[in-house]
Structure 1
């Protein structure tokens, strides 16, 4: 179970006790916001893509979606999400729990600038019923991110 990978990863950092586990699903932005008790935009969703011959994660605010033109400008290719059936094998976490912590080797993590609006956000912790509150600085530190990028647009509700 990939939440165990995140717990092990966080244990080495001394922050394992910050993981929130819920009796309800947090597999979608809306469900996670309800479970945590915050606005949906503060859920840090992690999306997995194949870019040429490598795999990447893009962590973005919960009220955004990928802007295909911006993605292509950033990565020089169309946004191609990893097939949901292959996400766990490639990334190390299954859909609904994908996060930038305790992932497989060689996966690059990018943080979208949409997250910078918040003091803290809630990414998942490897399962469809977990999250952790992190400041933006902590997210940078603990996700071992590659770079800040701008590949999203905010969805107006």
Structure 2
């Protein structure tokens, strides 16, 4: 399944998937900087059900490691349930991380943060709804690029645990 779009440059996410031998398809699209929701924009541009497109969010939990940073991956149709995320990682509470800290820690820009190929390993939780799909879409590491891959492969490459962490989807 590893398919690279013509003219597309490698990102840390695509390099990590290739190095791990995981099949994926690059799905580039024309990004509109005025889009209110990057994830919903991606679903529409790619012509896929929004429930299959997942956004990567960083939260700070009361954990002793990595500034307490935790990655939550949820469908773009919903929101991250911070209480559920905290419970999934054994914390009492979680809040959204400062965008500047998220960018510095992951090496990606907000709106293009991929759960794959981040600068350092962070505890990652994937909403279990991903497992109901044959393939899902996540950011490829820049705005206007999504990667399509099997949810089990996403779990493998990120070391994610799965839990119900989305609400409203």
State the TM-score, normalized to the length of structure 1.
0.82
Whether the 8 Å CA contact 1:49–1:79 is kept in 2: the answer is: yes
Separation in structure 2 between the aligned mates of residue 77 and residue 100 of structure 1, nearest angstrom: 23
Query: Counterparts of 1:17 and 1:117 in 2: how far apart (Å)?
Result: 18
Shift of 1:92: 1.8
TM, length-normalised to structure 2: 0.77
Q: Which runs of 4+ in 1 moved over 6 A?
A: none
Conservation of the 8 A alpha-carbon contact between 1:9 and 1:101: yes
State the match for 1:45 in structure 2: 55
Cα deviations by residue, 1:45-73 (Å, 9 ceiling, x for unpaired): 11111112321111112222123443444
Partner of 2:81: 67
Q: Which runs of 5+ in 1 are unaligned?
A: none
Q: Which whole-Å CA distance do the structure 1 matches of 2:51 and 2:166 have between them?
A: 13
- In the alignment, does 2:95 pair up with 1:57? no
Structure-to-structure mapping, 1:3-152, within 5 angstroms: 4-14=11-21, 18-25=25-32, 28-52=38-62, 53-74=67-88, 75-145=90-160, 147-152=161-166
**Gaps (5+ residues) in structure 2?**
1-8
How far apart are residue 4 of structure 1 and its match? 2.3
Secondary structure, in 3 states, of the residue corresponding to 1:7? helix
